[in-house]
Amino acid sequence: MTLLEELKNAIINVEPKKAEETTHLLLNQGVGAADILNQALIPGMDEVGRLFKEGEYYVPEVLVAAKAMNATLNLIEPLLIQGDVPRRGKIVIGTVEGDLHDIGKNLVSMMWKGAGYTIVDLGVDVTPERFVEAVRQEKPDYLAISALLTSTMLHIPAVIQALQAAGLRDDVKVLVGGAPLSQPFANEIGADGYAADATDAVSLVRRIDLEETGT
């Protein structure tokens, strides 16, 4: 078995210590962050999701697998954000009210950091009021909202409405993402952008920056 397979299995078998140790070994061998992500972490988490859906895993197992994944992401973060990238705009990000999923949000944040953006992370279960307050205080270029549940994605329009009510809607571009979302949903709720994964999330903000400022 390759080390990447071992890491994937450590996520699936809910072994955080093994996941961290294997990641250290992979990094020492010079394996790139993209391979660690795409060949081990994401397929591992997909499998955990499948086992959860089929009733083989319960919330506690998924929670520990998520902890293992977040700890491993922290180890590869320096690789994702290294290099001499130009400083770009500011992005406030959070997971919408009622939703505790943060792995996707953390991954998107890391990729944006790697592309030169300053990230202000509000965490999970963020109310519309907190999003609005952060936009008022931080004056970001983008407000990014993550939702992983079909129930909580329906709370995103309330954030956009709260921005409108506060007179801040035109000051910030609203980006949305998360597994149950789609481009048609983003269009329907009046968001300025949607991306299906962390790589597309980087292309999305670069495209909007280019359209807006030409840089």
Residues lying near ligand B12 in the complex (CB under 6 A) are found at 42, 45-46, 48-49, 52-53, 59, 62-63, 66, 98-105, 107-108, 144-146, 148-150, 175-180, 195, 197-198, 201
Report which residue type is found at 115.
A
Query: Alpha helix (H) ranges present in 115-195?
Result: 128-138, 156-165, 183-189
Closest distance of CB 59 from ligand B12, Å: 5
Nearer to ligand B12, 84 or 191 (CB): 191
Closest distance of CB 175 from ligand B12, Å: 4
Closest distance of CB 102 from ligand B12, Å: 4
Nearer to ligand B12, 189 or 198 (CB): 198
Judge whether 191 and 178 are in contact, CB under 8 Å.
no
| Beta-bridge partners for 119 | 91
Nearer to ligand B12, 30 or 177 (CB): 177
Query: Alpha helix (H) ranges present in 139-182?
Result: 156-165
Closest distance of CB 44 from ligand B12, Å: 9
Nearer to ligand B12, 28 or 193 (CB): 193
Dihedral angle computed from the Cα positions of residues 183, 186, 191 and 192, in that order, rounded to the nearest 10 degrees:
0
Closest distance of CB 213 from ligand B12, Å: 20
Report which residue type is found at 165.
A
- At CB < 8 A and 24+ separation, what contacts does 193-198 make? 195/108, 198/104, 198/107, 198/108, 198/110, 198/111
Nearer to ligand B12, 34 or 63 (CB): 63
Closest distance of CB 126 from ligand B12, Å: 12
Nearer to ligand B12, 4 or 45 (CB): 45
Burial 57-91 (b: 16+ CB within 10 A, else e): beeebbebbbebbeebbebbbebbbeeeeeebbeb
